[in-house]
Amino acid sequence: MAQNLRIIITSGTREKLQMAAMITAVAAAGGTEVAVFVSMNALLFFRRGNTTEPSSEGEVGRILTTKKAPSFLDLFRQAVDLGSVHIYPCSMALDVLAVGPPDLVAYMEAPMGLTKFLSELDDSHVLTF
């Protein structure tokens, strides 16, 4: 597995949020350093107290709900607890949504701009959702 993994999440669909969280958690468990950049529609689901569920793209997304799979938010929190994961909200998306860092789930770090996130890719593998 790569030494560093960078994940960019912009989608607000259940399947993509869930897959990004699963990859983050598994990579972190395997000792990979992971940085996640959350922007656009995805950021809406990282607000404290959000009760809106992401829409499903298809049957798998609907089944995830009925089978009570661990939520993507819980998987991200568990990955952060492992210590090698950093999750950054997009500063531009925060401005557009008129949301501040205190409005987000506690495990998110200080906002970051896309330019800075991209400048720190180095030899990382990059996945987008």
Residue-wise pLDDT tens digits, 14-38: 999 999 999 999 999 999 999 999 9
> Looking at the domain assignment, is residue 25 inside a domain?
yes
How confident is the model at residue 30, as a pLDDT?
92
> Looking at the domain assignment, is residue 126 inside a domain?
no
Amino acid (1-letter code) at residue 112: M
Overall average pLDDT of the 105-109 stretch: 97
**DSSP readout, 68-100?**
TPPPHHHHHHHHHHTTSEEEEEBHHHHHHHT--
Put simply, whether the predicted model's pTM sits higher than 0.75 gets the answer yes
> Looking at the domain assignment, is residue 105 inside a domain?
yes
**Confidence grade of residue 83 (pLDDT, cut at 50, 70, 90):** confident
**Confidence grade of residue 1 (pLDDT, cut at 50, 70, 90):** very low
> Looking at the domain assignment, is residue 127 inside a domain?
no
The string of pLDDT tens digits covering residues 34-82 is 999 999 999 999 999 999 989 888 898 888 888 878 899 999 999 999 8
How confident is the model at residue 127, as a pLDDT?
94
- How far is residue 118's CA from residue 101's CA, in Å, rounded to a whole number? 21
Provide the residue range defining the domain that includes 53. Answer: 4-112
> Looking at the domain assignment, is residue 120 inside a domain?
no
How confident is the model at residue 68, as a pLDDT?
79
> Nearest CA to 83 among 126, 24, 37, 125?
24
Most distant pair of Cα atoms in the chain: their distance: 40
> Looking at the domain assignment, is residue 129 inside a domain?
no
**CATH code of the domain in which 93 resides:** 3.40.1260.10
